[in-house]
Chains A and B, each alone.
Chain A
Amino acid sequence: MYVQVEEVSKRFERNGQTVTALDCVSLGIESGELVGLQGPSGSGKSTLLNIIGGLERPSLGDVIIEQRRISTLNDEQLAEYRRQTVGFVFQSAHLLAPLTVFENVMLPLVPDAAPAAEKTARVEEVLETARIAHRATHLPGELSGGEQQRAAVARAIVNRPRLVLADEPTGELDEENAANIIGLLTGLSAEGVTVIIASHDRRVLDVAGRVIALSDGAMCEQ
């Protein structure tokens, strides 16, 4: 999936002051490419991911995904875009504590009208892919950090997205677990999924085909 970011700026009003999170960022990402976003805290990495993923609207500019301009989508259309096209992986997994791993991974499929058996089969498939199937009936509180992140990756890919956005996916993981997550994400890229990872982690940036640096909301190098 080709992703085009076209002169995107994002400004927030905070306590009467205007904060520029992104300043006229433009880039293009090829289908199946694994791109790293690098930069210090506050450089705008998460904001850029949110805008590409349809969680926020840019103040200026636009994101074009398969010839669709994100800015023209209403809230319902954005939600559909997120459900069918995008998979999010957050730094702290953000699994819902009262639900089991299986139920957490099923969440993106709940609004769909597909038969329950079909949804169940898909969830079991991605649990196997993420190597977390043996913990399907456990609650997130019973899992290690690495297991939670693997469950989060499973949840992100259960809808077969063509774009996966990961925000510091290895930030809280040790060497081994970080390697597992990186392996999953590179595997997705190899299957043609466009993967954009915001990270400080050298291990992630090393496997990226391209690294885009941000500083104070602006691109400074690629």
Chain B
Amino acid sequence: MTVLSISQGVRSAVQDSLDATGADIVIQRVVKPCPFALVKLPKDLGEIEGSLVTELRKLPEVDEASGVLTLWAFHGGHPTVVAGIDPHLKQLGPARLKHPDEDEQEQAEEDRRTCCAITDGRYLSGGDDYHTIIAEDYAKAKGYKVGQMIPLGPELEFEVVGIVSLAQSARISEAEAFIPLKIAQQMYGAGDVVDAVFVAFKDPAHPQSERAEAIARERIGPEATFTSAADVGEGTSLLAQVTRNTLLVISVLVLVFVFLLILHSFLAGVARRIPEIGILKAIGWSNKDVGRLFVAEAVYVALIGGIAGSVLGLVVAWGYSRVATLELPSALSSYPPCSTTQPLLSTRLTFEPSLTLFLAGTLVALVLGVSAGFAAARRAALLPPAEALRRI
């Protein structure tokens, strides 16, 4: 029960990171790191032509596509992670708002905790240029406020128009400051390029990403990488999956061992109660009556034990989710080592009690207990009554 609950929490946690961007897949180009520059692409990400975004948008299965250019902009010896985003697409990308409508942000308390919301000021708009919205952690670390002019890069200053809370979950392509994409492209100086493309499909349950991936692969080349929920899950929780599978195997072995223990206990119980069985048979109980007694006892014991064990498993899973965190692959977050704030690569596990799991756990206990009970019942039923009475 504990293993399955924690696994469910891991799956939910990694799914949250992709959900937080609104994307079903993220397309990037992985290259060898560039020579050092004051404004550079993060680590080993390469340029992707911005026209790819336009081409992907035209696909009928694509709901929306957004290009993001994430830069490390150095000023005074310190880098700031700056992401150029499309201000018109508030629902897709690393600064996705859960409620894009300004009026809805009044209910932002829950959003701040679980997703993302503007906590002060406003989001970027189409008319902005040297304007920025900054992450809440970055604002606190630097003491920045809305309306303030802040340096982003070697020579440029931007007006802070809003502060955005990006919640506590690890995020893909997160940044400390978000500026209009066109300005980020100017800073980088390579024209209409991005380094990540976020794609949302009309049917997220069946993304049909093959065509989009084919186009991207053709435009980008063999360096193209694609990250979907499954990939994030694989990369992020590879260890968790290995751990989960190992734990499941161990759990199965423990179940087998426990069944043998239960069987031994029930059979020992029959041996202890031989005189009682003799008396019951002497006063007229048939073999079937005696067998039914032991099976009924096994059902009660298994039911109570199963419920108690399932509750205990959930309690342990809850306790684990309170203290454990999950690490995203660092490639999905682009902070340099000496950035002002640190990337939130870790995400909390969510505890999602499942009635199905609870019932399944109880059912497994019931099956094991009743199976052992049947074995004991058979032994009790077949005891010769006179022989049993002689043991008194």
Contacts and interface: CB of A to CB of B under 8 A. Distances in A.
Interface in B272-324: 275-276, 279-289
A88 B286 contact: no
A82 B283 contact: yes
Interface in A129-185: 155-156, 159
Contact of A96 (B276, B288, B384): B276
B389 interface: yes
B392 A94 contact: yes
A158 to B, nearest CB: 9
Contacts of A79: 281, 284-287, 289
Interface stretch (A49-57, A113-121, A209-217): A49-57
A80 B385 contact: no
A111 B386 contact: no
Contacts of B384: 56
Interface string A93-114: 0101000000000011011000
A50 B388 CA distance: 12
A31 interface: no
A221 interface: no
Nearest to A105: B283
Nearest to A54: B385
A159 B392 contact: no
A75 interface: yes
B279 A76 contact: no
A156 to B, nearest CB: 8
Interface residues of B, number: 18
Contacts of A80: 284, 286
Contact of B282 (A82, A84, A92, A111): A82
A159 B386 CA distance: 21
Contacts of B287: 75-76, 79
A94 B285 CA distance: 15
A83 interface: yes
A107 B381 CA distance: 17
B277 to A, nearest CB: 11
Nearest to A56: B386
B285 A96 contact: no
Contacts of A76: 286-288
A86 B286 CA distance: 14
Given A50-B386, A56-B386, A88 B280 contact: no
Contacts of A94: 275, 279, 392
A96 B279 contact: yes
A88 B282 contact: yes
A7 to B, nearest CB: 20
B285 A111 contact: yes
Nearest to A88: B282
B313 to A, nearest CB: 32
A75 B382 CA distance: 10
A110 B279 CA distance: 14
A48 B204 CA distance: 82
Interface string B351-392: 000000000000000000000000000000000111001001
A53 B284 CA distance: 10
Contacts of B288: 76
Contacts of B392: 90, 92, 94
B282 A107 contact: no
Given A50-B386, A79-B289, A55 B284 contact: no
A111 B284 contact: yes
A76 B279 CA distance: 16
Contacts of B279: 90, 94, 96
B283 A55 contact: no
Contacts of A111: 284-286, 289
Contact of B284 (A56, A75, A96, A159): A159
A133 to B, nearest CB: 20
B286 A55 contact: no
A145 to B, nearest CB: 16
A104 B114 CA distance: 62
Nearest to B279: A94
Contacts of B284: 79-80, 82-84, 86, 108, 111, 159
Nearest to B284: A83
Nearest to A92: B392
8 contacts: A50-B389, A55-B386, A75-B286, A79-B289, A80-B286, A82-B281, A82-B284, A111-B284
Interface of A: 50, 53, 55-56, 75-76, 79-80, 82-84, 86, 88, 90, 92, 94, 96, 107-108, 110-111, 155-156, 159
Pick the 3 closest A-B CB pairs, nearest first: A83-B284, A79-B286, A56-B386
